[in-house]
Structure 1
């Protein structure tokens, strides 16, 4: 599935016949329209496309395959156009792509990418890549935005209850979503998008993507040894204590943090009578930390009840803000049933119960990486201007009377900062070079790069500015 000519919608194969004969350049932009999920989004993912699909030029085999497919499929094929791209541009798409810096917090309705063809023979090309470009941006940007919303909620809870909010924050939301997505590519890009905000993940494809696409020379995220139900229940119910003791012996005795799912039979019994009873000395006697994981029951009340039991059995201290912090040998992670709403409710309940958010981490799976779509943030790519054979630019836009929210912007776009907020303006209304939309790619050449560390810093500064 690597033929870029086929990575589009069928109907776009006919568009080379549809633009006005005087058209020489088409400009198009990408934005998230007003939506009910978020007023602002974290822009992320473009560089992965540039260094991935667009950095791989088309070849003769791609053209021949696409021609055969289109002919049998019933749509026209622009053989002359693709032959010219191969002959005159080395197979690289002659496009200039401008974008905001990745990690920017972008208000809905503000363009984050703008595309123009740079070969006047190919005005059809800018919108031909809509499918490839849009899905490369909407998915990681939406996951990063979702993860960022969780970050704001957890950070607020830490500020209220923790003596070390920023030290605690990076590992407070863990990604368990790899098995819940539709492909390995989704795991890589979605998992990487989560790493814009946090440093905890079990999605290992994201680690490779961080290295390949965003210059992560050091390990960008971490995990710990952890049990699952199969490794615990394989011991049998009568040896539940032995299964737990083995986890302590294998990992915690080495000074490591280890997570153990503890609800295979009876969570309350496991916490009160095994972890806090027969194995209490082993939990407290070695280095490292035991992280108890409930995996069923009410996603808010169950972990709060478990915190109370752990405090009763292991004790702890009261921090400078007056909240209880468990003995450092014991912590809790809640992954079952976590989403933006339940994380917010759980944060509030933990604090209402007198506990610091230091005591608990959160996990999300398919809800983080899969329960999103293009309409979550209402992403769209639309043509906004056409340059004719006399080098005159003409506005291009739509204004549907049946749904004004789907109206598009007219004229080549610029983005500027005004009053501390990004706003869209026409390019011909701002000073040359003033737009934050800057060229990042031109006909196979990457004009600027960003690292994951830079993206993280930019996003965090904007998310936590308040």
Structure 2
């Protein structure tokens, strides 16, 4: 979207006037990002590297300044033309800021600083504030990665209880169906890539491109041939079994997986008569695993009944943990799936004696769209400013909402070397830099400098990020 390429216009209107609003003598500012609570008690940090590559790596130009000057003049707000031209001339158009953050994939309890932004040029102290609008959009990939990660922990618990191969099964147990349910192609790419921090299954093609472009992932996720209602119902109700037979003929090869939506008319009839009787031997002889997809009704009830009917038709083995694993067939539930229903469905089937191996999930709107900045109460706030050579605390503490109280001072996120606990601490105002602060006993810096004056200092592959997220546990 080339008409949106100007970084100076990737902000809120009121930001354009803020350079005039700081106290006289201000020459440095310090900001931080945190989750102030929300639905989950910890978040998975992801998405900063892509934001920086996409928006800050390209230098601004005098032409960008011209465009922004003219737009804001017509729009009715002041614009710091001289300040931006200074950055073009003195910094080659790159932002004179430092960004420190936890490594992506790190799971951090809420109420901790996840990243900090500080100015590096006294003549451009106002730049971190100007970039807030763009940088705070980190809330979206972090929140998607967090939802996906928590769903993964729920699925992991049931697999560890009921499966002989929980770690082998887990990466493909939650499939991203969300591309059509989001507000834009870019949202699908960003959110879809955030899900791929935790799982390997996706139908969101733009997420693959995003992971390739920004996270060195040649192929970040995988899918299988699958039917939709139109490809089944186009055969007519009387031809339903022929539609299924065609799916087997086209895709059911030894070792293959093929998913077939089977509730266009009557899911239970489709299983007992078509899959379990007419096509039963063809399924067995194909050597493939056929994944039946119900797509309506109460998921807890429907999934269990589908498993029971498939069990009657194809039988099962009993694994080493005493749970039933179906022969030749599986079920994928993609309707009405959210982190809560995943647990309810798995509780239902495992109580009935079926291993979690038998079931996978597809998640769409609840994964990529049914969330907002308040899901995890994300905020980017100024916590310190240097005025007349002295660092002062900057904070808000509204009497009407203590939950919006912000942190004070220049901040560091520390982690205990032995126990892994996180602690956000202020740097003494007398310290010239963060490095001058004495570390509490047993703690180390949990952040790294990711960006310094236009240079990306940490450029990690998705595999590294996945490794961090996967080692964390509830």
Question: Which TM-score band applies after superposition, normalised by the shorter structure?
Answer: over 0.9
Deviations 1:35-92 (A, max 9, x none): 2x01100011000011111111112221111111101111001100111111111111
| Preserved contact between residue 177 and residue 365 of structure 1 (Cα < 8 Å) | yes
Aligned counterparts, 1:268-279, within 5 A? 268-279=268-279
| 2:112 match | 110
Q: How many corresponding residue pairs?
A: 459
Is 1:226 the counterpart of 2:231? The answer is: no
Task: Say whether residues 1:14 and 2:12 are aligned partners.
Answer: no
- Report if the CA contact (8 A) 1:293-1:333 is conserved: yes
Shift of 1:110: 0.5
**CA deviation string 1:375-429 (max 9, x = no partner):** 0000001101112343x21111111111111111111001112443111111335
TM-score, reference length from structure 2: 0.95
State which of 87, 90, 101 in structure 2 corresponds to 1:88: 90
Q: How does 1:34-49 map to 2 (within 5 A)?
A: 34-35=37-38, 37-49=39-51
CA distance in structure 2 between the aligned counterparts of 1:344 and 1:368, rounded to whole angstroms: 15
- 1:261 equivalenced with 2:269 (yes/no): no
- For 1:18-33, list aligned pairs within 5 A: 18-33=21-36
Please state how far the C-alpha of 1:437 moved relative to its aligned partner: 2.2
Mapping of residues 29-428 of structure 1, within 5 Å: 29-35=32-38, 37-135=39-137, 137-217=138-218, 219-253=219-253, 255-327=255-327, 329-390=328-389, 392-418=390-416, 419-428=419-428
Distance 1:133 1:298 in 2: 40
- The offset of 1:255, in angstroms, is 4.2
What secondary structure does 1:53 align onto?
Answer: helix
Q: CA deviation at 1:271?
A: 0.3
The separation in 1 between residues aligned to 2:61 and 2:69, in whole angstroms, is 13
SS in 1 for 2:40: coil
Of 453, 462, 471, 1:443 maps to: 453
- Assess, with a 3 A threshold, how the Cα gap between structure 1 residues 417 and 434 changes in structure 2: closer, same or farther: closer
Q: Partners in 2 of 1:76 and 1:308 — Cα distance?
A: 68
Distance of 2:40 and 2:157 partners within structure 1:
18
CA contact (8 A) 2:415 2:444 kept: no
User: For the residues of structure 2 that align with 1:267 and 1:434, how far apart are their CA atoms?
Assistant: 56
Q: Considering only aligned residues, what root-mean-square deviation do their CA atoms show, in Å?
A: 1.3
Secondary structure of 1:380's partner?
strand
Question: What SS does the corresponding residue of 2:123 show, helix, strand or coil?
Answer: coil
Q: 1:114, 1:437 within 8 Å by CA — same for their partners in 2?
A: no
Contact 1:157 1:357 in 2 (8 A): yes
Residue 346 of structure 1 aligns to a residue whose secondary structure is helix
Q: How many angstroms apart in 1 are the aligned matches of 2:317 and 2:37?
A: 46
**Distance between the aligned counterparts of 2:456 and 2:16, measured in 1?**
27
Separation in 2, partners of 1:129, 1:430:
30
**Residues of 1 paired with 2:384 and 2:438: CA distance?**
16
In the TM superposition, what whole-angstrom CA distance separates every residue of 1:223-243 from its partner, at most 9, and x where no partner exists?
000000011111111111111
State TM-score, norm by structure 1.
0.96
**Distance across 2 between alignment mates of 1:7 and 1:95:** 17
Q: Distance in 2 between matches of 1:347 and 1:421?
A: 31
